[in-house]
Amino acid sequence: MDLTVLGSGTVAPTSERTAPAYWVSAPPVQLLLDCGAGTLHRAVTYQIPWAEVTHLAITHFHPDHWGELVMFMFALRWGTEPSRSAPLTVIGPRGLQARMAHLASAYGDWVLDPEFPLEIVEIGPGEQRELADAVVLEACKTPHTEESLAYGIRAGSTRLVYTGDTGPSEELARWAVGCSLLLAECSLPDELGIELHLTPTQAGALARAAGARHLVLTHFYPVFGDIDPAAVAAREFDGEIVAARDGDRFSVGA
């Protein structure tokens, strides 16, 4: 399983980081996790086969996490040559179906009927969905918005956990136990921490509690300045830690 960071930023724009988007390749699954502003252009820049996407999973309905979904689908419908015929599954929290219907009212019926098979799947905390033979997506509640989820992607003995947006949560730590790679949001420096996001210290503590093998920090607000979040998280977690940059690629080992 491979992970490529397309956007390691947030809603706050910077020249270095676009909004949240992560490409997970676990053949035959090509999964896009979140789809914030900049996703398509970053995917092209990093030579991701974006048009071969099989699944698109949204963690929650903040626009920085799914604001480019319609644009992505528009590109799949009219921006590929030859036209797409492969099916697409869009997965998200409860309320996704209704929101997609609203998007269709705003943008056109093609949102729900893009002329390739489209399946819209709602998933709740504690549920899982088989994406392909032996590749499973799992969901866990996170303390961020009413609907927000973390996702786990399991292929054989390899498991990638992406926190989406979250505050500190013991439930999340228990659920993430044994993950090969923890992709954890790390929005704010310790001194600016709030309940609905993680700081480097909290992300490090989460990785330690989960017994993660490898911690990748992401979702940085620009206020970090010169602070190295990986160095701060290392006080809590003694495994390998990387502060993600757009374009980083990771091999998610067993």
Binding site for Zn ion (CB under 5 A): 62, 64, 165
Task: Compute the least distance from the CB of residue 11 to Zn ion, in Å.
Answer: 7
Task: Compute the least distance from the CB of residue 232 to Zn ion, in Å.
Answer: 20
Specify the residue, 88 or 206, whose C-beta has the smaller distance to Zn ion: 206
Task: Compute the least distance from the CB of residue 109 to Zn ion, in Å.
Answer: 29
Specify the residue, 92 or 114, whose C-beta has the smaller distance to Zn ion: 92
Specify the residue, 11 or 121, whose C-beta has the smaller distance to Zn ion: 11
| Beta carbons of 200 and 208 less than 8 angstroms apart | no
Task: Compute the least distance from the CB of residue 165 to Zn ion, in Å.
Answer: 4
Task: Compute the least distance from the CB of residue 223 to Zn ion, in Å.
Answer: 14
Specify the residue, 165 or 246, whose C-beta has the smaller distance to Zn ion: 165
Specify the residue, 64 or 246, whose C-beta has the smaller distance to Zn ion: 64
